Amino acid sequence: MAGKRTYNQYCGLASALDVVGERWTLLIVRELLMGPRRYVDLLADLPALGTNLLAERLRFLVERGVVEQVDLHGTGSRLAYRLTPVGQELRPLVAGLARWGMGFVGEKSESDTVRPHWGFLAVEAMLRPERATAIDERYEFRVDDHVYHVEVSDRVPRAVKGPAVEPAMVATTDAATFVQIGSGRLTPLAAMVTGRLSLVGEPDAVLRCCDLLGLEAGVPSAHAR
């Protein structure tokens, strides 16, 4: 821990924050939850993060066993970073924080960055497994140029990268609209009326998907903070 700030507290939470509590660290973890990423890709999707700070954060996470370097193609020329099994344990914690933080999302400013692949983590964070029905079906989300879906099987929902096979519902939108819907600032109905969202599927399937994601289909969420 030489050279790093520490809380100097003999506590699990403080020890966790010693590792991931620095600014930008959890956002780097968020990117790696999508899969292995090259340094240049991380830099592109975290535009306000300078290259020196990114290198420092990655080096520290590698030292702590949270992240590791991998050779994607076995050539030594396209090294990438990925989460170790220890790093993957952060997935439910990051998803929980993302779900909690949705209530604090405000209006998007011109300086705010949004990426379509963040929608995958948003879907994963929004899932309410206790609301899954006995109907096995899939819901596909097309957010800008990214596609992912939710699959419900035996009352267990899971977020999956890529298109769905015979989806019961297909939602097409842009990344900013998707975040606004997830935060409760915009309902799916209002987004459809304004042309920012397209929903294709049986109404009952759409309602089941909205309920599974904790979305109010037509009335703005009263708990949005």
- Structure confidence by residue, pLDDT tens digits, 169-198: 999 999 999 999 998 889 999 999 999 999
The tokens for 108 are 């998007």
Report whether pLDDT(224) > 90: no
CATH number at residue 31: 1.10.10.10
Phi, psi of 52 (to 5 degrees): -65, -40
The verdict on 83 and 122 lying in the same domain is no
CATH number at residue 183: 3.30.1050.10
The verdict on 31 and 78 lying in the same domain is yes
Q: Where are the beta strands (DSSP E) in 14-130?
A: 67-71, 79-83
Is 177 contained in some domain? yes
User: Which residues are CB-contacts of 105 (< 8 A; sequence separation ≥ 6)?
Assistant: 179, 180, 182, 183, 185
The verdict on 123 and 62 lying in the same domain is no
Is 100 contained in some domain? no
Number of domains in the chain: 2
Comparing C-alpha atoms, which of 83, 103, 102, 95 is closest to residue 120? 95
- Structure confidence by residue, pLDDT tens digits, 68-93: 999 887 776 678 999 999 999 999 99
Range of the domain at 54: 12-89
